A and B are shown apart, each in its own frame.
Chain A
Amino acid sequence: MTFIIKNLPILIVITPLMFSLIVAVLSNNRLAWILSTFASFLTMIFSILLCFELSNNSNISYYLGNWPPPLGIEYVIDKVSIIPIIIVSVIGFIATLYAHNFFILEIDRNLVSKTYSLWLLTIAGLMGLITTADAFNLFVFLEISSLSAVALVALGSKMDRKALIAGYNYLILGAVGATFYVIGVGLLYGVTGTLNMSDLAQKIPALGLNKSVIVAFTFMMLGIMVKAAVFPLHIWLPNAYAYAPSPVSVLLAATATKVSIYILVRISYTIFGPSYEIYTFESLRYVLLYLAILAMFAGTIMAIFEKDVKKLLAHSSVAQIGYIVLGISLATSPGIASGFIHLINHALIKAGLFMSVVAMGYYTLKRIDVNSITGLGRQVPITFFAFVICALSLAGLPLTVGFISKLYLIKAAFMSEGIWLPFLILVSSALSLIYIWKLIEGLWYNKTNSKSEKIKELPEIYIPLLIISFLNIYFGIDADLIIDNSFIASDALISGIK
């Protein structure tokens, strides 16, 4: 047991990685699913153990192969990184539990076990991204997670050939973004001679306003902004989420961009924050803040005019990423905390929405678009119920998690920017009600002429869905756990700077 406790930081990465190798050679699809579920369950258990371990000490540092940093690769779990770890492991487990029916339907039978292998590889890559404290190791995990995600997106080609193009665009943009990140890391290594994040943070201040460092900062931020789909660099996202196999949409929408935003926070606050306080904060304030505002409106307006429901949700994701980045770019403790609160809540909301929409697609065996959903809610009442809860949560109604995050975001925005920013947030929230109402109206109030009969809903599909909806309500009423941990995380980031 102590052996496991001691090696927890690497176990959460290596468990899905190793299981993905085993799953790849299996030919039995059901066995592959059971093993993947087991692997993601183990990862979740390890993450929760890590949570308890972390309550005793402020951070856990793990030396890979016992080589001490800065020479060796270091994995660090602290109060900040535990948040995305829990998101990825819990959503990863629920999504794996949920995936099997959809994969059997949407992917060639003989490819399903390979799909699970890629699936676990994506989870491993995301976990590695969060835990590693080595700038170059981060690039490797970035590519592991995005290459396997690209392959997963392209597997949607059996249902719609556009998935191939979506995957291709994701690959090209993702690779350019990752290469930008590597250029930044290379320049930093050139002037400091180290790759360890905390070591970089110590050595950069001595360089003053060195041009290489500023260029490195810009390259790294731009590269990760592509991965995080911050507004003008989000072009790959809507198609990738819309045409991917259904469970992949759920997993990527809930976790992939969140992890990239976490890296954005790490770069701007942990690596550059202490030394380039003014420079970093100004670029956050004058670049990222306005991009976030544009994202809020562009995503929402695109979603209002979109017909295809999966794509609509993807556009709304762009807007929600805007809210998260907005909180982070305020560069104050309440601002970052509100960013983290929305990071967690949006993972819950979007996972629930995508899960209910793809479930409707599964029951009716066709693509769900705004014209084809008339009266569908009456045929699948349980799925519709979960959909309504998550949709209202997205709009930010009281008693849901969406309300909590909007509340804290508006509070933080008001504290640092005055009245205009909360006003803009409220306007874009009001606009998001338009597309949410359009969906709910279509699903429930528009009756079809022909007498539609009820469709039998499958428990293995609606149970994970109800769990997510329950979490949406539960954390909307008793939000202390999320709020407290977000504030601890943001204080840890800010205190590292001061």
Chain B
Amino acid sequence: MIDQIFGVWNYWIVFILMMIGLYIVISKKSLLKKIVGLALFQTSVFLLYITFGKIAGGTAPILTDNVNEIYSNPLPHVLILTAIVVGVATTALGLALTVRINKAYGSINENEISASDLVEYHKKYHEVKK
């Protein structure tokens, strides 16, 4: 039991972070908080990859005189380097869109935005009727 919790500690952290991130994305009404949640969700996946690659007591994969040196798998780390760049791009684009939405609607709350869209729609509809 203890082993199942502490032996795979990293995976529990990954799991918890992932669920928190996904929950924020789904439940929060603020567009800014959604992006924070998305970033958290992506970060948990980075941690998942790093955990695969890490070997306890392993060093960095650099050629030394000692042939029996234990080293961690470098590939997941490199993959995550790419994924971090992608994550940064996603966050940047999301934040830029949020700024533009704030300019256009004067709010970044989902409810207020859909309400203001509804008002606009009704105005248009009545204009057509007149």
Contacts and interface: CB of A to CB of B under 8 A. Distances in A.
B82 interface: yes
A164 B89 contact: no
B101 A143 contact: no
A186 B48 contact: yes
B52 A147 contact: no
A150 B31 CA distance: 16
Interface residues of A, number: 27
B36 to A, nearest CB: 12
B104 A157 contact: yes
Interface residues of B, number: 31
Contact of B86 (A143, A154, A157, A162): A143
A136 interface: yes
Contacts of A136: 79, 82
Given A165-B113, A175-B90, A186-B48, A371 B101 contact: no
Contacts, number: 71
Query: From DSSP, what is the main secondary structure of chain A's interface residues?
Result: helix
Interface stretch (B1-9, B37-45, B55-63, B64-72): B37-45
B42 A175 contact: yes
A154 B97 contact: yes
A176 interface: yes
B82 A147 contact: no
A176 B100 CA distance: 22
B38 A182 contact: no
B90 A143 contact: yes
Interface string B70-81: 000001100100
Contacts of A139: 83, 86
B17 interface: no
A238 interface: no
Given A140-B86, A147-B90, A189-B76, A168 B49 contact: no
A148 to B, nearest CB: 9
Contact of B104 (A147, A161, A176): A161
B61 to A, nearest CB: 14
A164 B94 CA distance: 10
A261 to B, nearest CB: 22
B93 A151 contact: yes
B94 A171 contact: yes
B24 to A, nearest CB: 11
Contact of B100 (A157, A182, A189): A157
Nearest to B83: A182
B86 A183 contact: no
Given A176-B41, A189-B76, A168 B104 contact: no
A154 B90 contact: no
Interface in B83-101: 83, 86, 89-90, 93-94, 97-98, 100-101
B22 A171 contact: no
Interface string A149-187: 011001001000110110110011001101100110010
B45 A179 contact: yes
Contacts of B128: 371
B76 A176 contact: no
Contacts of A154: 97, 100
A171 B90 contact: yes
Contacts of A164: 97, 100-101, 104
A151 B92 CA distance: 11
B49 A186 contact: yes
B56 to A, nearest CB: 16
B76 A172 contact: no
A161 B121 CA distance: 12
Complex A-B, nearest 6 residue pairs according to Cβ-Cβ distance, in ascending order: A161-B104, A190-B52, A143-B86, A164-B101, A168-B97, A175-B90
Interface of B: 22, 25, 31, 34-35, 38, 41-42, 45, 48-49, 52, 75-76, 79, 82-83, 86, 89-90, 93-94, 97-98, 100-101, 104-105, 113, 117, 128
24 contacts: A139-B86, A147-B90, A151-B93, A157-B100, A161-B104, A164-B104, A165-B113, A167-B97, A168-B94, A171-B90, A171-B97, A172-B25, A172-B34, A172-B38, A175-B42, A175-B90, A178-B86, A182-B45, A182-B83, A183-B48, A186-B45, A186-B52, A189-B52, A189-B76
Given A172-B94, A176-B41, 5 more contacts: A136-B79, A136-B82, A172-B38, A176-B25, A179-B45
